[in-house]
Amino acid sequence: MLGALYASHQTIYSGHILSFWNERMRRRLPSIGALMAFEAAARHLSVTRAAEELALTESAVSRQISLLEEQLGVKLFHRIKKRISLTQAGLMYSTRVVQTIERIERDTLEVMGHEGEGSVLEVAALPTVGSQWLVPRLVSFYAGLEGVTVHVSARSTRFFFSESALDGALYFGGPDWPGAHTDYLFDEILLPVGSPALLEGAASLSPQAVVRRRLLHLMTRPDAWRRWCATAGLSGVNVLRGPRFEVQSMLISAACAGLGVALLPRFLIADQLRSGKLKVLSDLPVRSEGAYYFAYPVEKAADPVLMAFRSWLQQESGAFRRRATAGGAPADRGRSRRPGQALQEA
């Protein structure tokens, strides 16, 4: 009898403890509405723009942020008249909140799309390389591994994996990505290309004739024309003249439109070369200073789905390198590296 009373008393006591901690945790967890209001205001540094994005009134957004600050016991914004700026705590918290909201959105879409079954990989890629090289090859990945879905998003610059929901990234640059392992994929071999009209009836142009045309530049390859002129043995050329473009797809469009001569790799312009929109103006190639790599977080190195994707990517890039070498391009540097330097634009 006493044993039963003691057990009953323990059950009630444990229930009270659990209820107490649940209540404490609920008080510490902000509402999703408050977090979204804070994230939007932090991103825009404007309550007005946050309200427009969330379809709320400015007072509603301000109230949500004030409640969040009251709950945290920390000021998240400096307020000077109608202008706001993040405090140090606000800056740190906004990074975490963005990551959390992205994760919730990703998990929600995954459950809606797969009803909890299968696996999902979130991969980033440079916009043009992603659409022209990665995406067309995904058919073979799906054929070899059922139950996995690969989402591909465009990223032109590097980021911290710890601040995103991404599992990997295909990028251009060096073998250095903080907090990540990197695998070498292939080099970038550039050729001067342009509209057929630039040939003026000739089969090709001499290096001297090439640089007399308007030079088109990719912002992330500022030394490309200098390196090509050095390879051609040209000096005294103003290699900085001419318009600049942020992404390769813009550069390709500019070259097709006849704006000038661009340095581009064959694999990105195969369709334009086949259709005749672009012509190789000179067969003199130059290797870019960087290369293409795949980066993935150190802490996910044991993830079986990610490792399967990595293995497939290495097979695809190896076959791509062999075809490029057979076609006369310079041999690759086949290497796998790990990170160790600062971030740079991809």
> What's the chain's average pLDDT?
85
Residue 104 confidence (pLDDT): 80
Question: Cα 177 to chain center, whole Å?
Answer: 12
Residues near 196 by beta carbon (within 8 Å), at least 6 away in sequence: 276, 278, 279
Contact by Cβ (8 Å): 77, 86: yes
Mean pLDDT calculated for residue range 46-64: 93
Cα 1 to Cα 154: distance, rounded to the nearest angstrom: 69
DSSP annotation string for 21-34: HHHHHHHHS--HHH
Residue 202 CA: distances (Å) to CA of 27, 115, 193, 206, 252: 76, 60, 14, 10, 22
The first and second tokens of residue 275, run together, are 């259709």
Mean pLDDT of all residues in 319-336:
64
User: Domains in the chain, please, with CATH?
Assistant: 31-98 (1.10.10.10), 118-346 (3.40.190.290)
Instruction: Using alpha carbons, select from 167, 157, 138, 113 the residue that is nearest to residue 304.
Output: 167
Helix (H) or strand (E) holding 217: strand 217-218
- End-to-end CA distance of the chain: give it in Å, rounded: 73
Q: Which is more confident, 244 or 163?
A: 244
Lowest-confidence region among 49-58, 103-112, 187-196, 241-250: 103-112
Distance from C-alpha of 126 to C-alpha of 152, rounded to nearest angstrom: 10
Average pLDDT over residues 23-42: 80
- Give the predicted TM-score (pTM) of the model: 0.68
d(C-alpha 92, C-alpha 90), whole Å: 5
E strand or H helix at 324, and its extent?
helix 304-326
259-278 confidence digits (pLDDT tens): 999 999 999 999 999 999 99
Q: Which residues contact 168 (CB under 8 A, 6 or more apart)?
A: 121, 122, 123, 124, 294, 295, 296, 297, 306, 309, 310
pLDDT grade, residue 342 (50/70/90)? Answer: very low
CA distance 61 to 81: 16
- Please give the backbone phi and psi of residue 344, each rounded to the nearest 5 degrees, phi first: -145, 165
Place of tokens 């601040």: 163
pLDDT tens per residue across span 105-152: 876 766 665 555 568 899 999 999 999 999 999 999 999 888 899 999
Helix intervals (H) in 180-223: 207-212
Place 218 in a pLDDT band, splitting at 50, 70 and 90.
very high
Checking if the pLDDT of 11 tops 80, the result is no
Tell me: pLDDT of 15 over 90: no
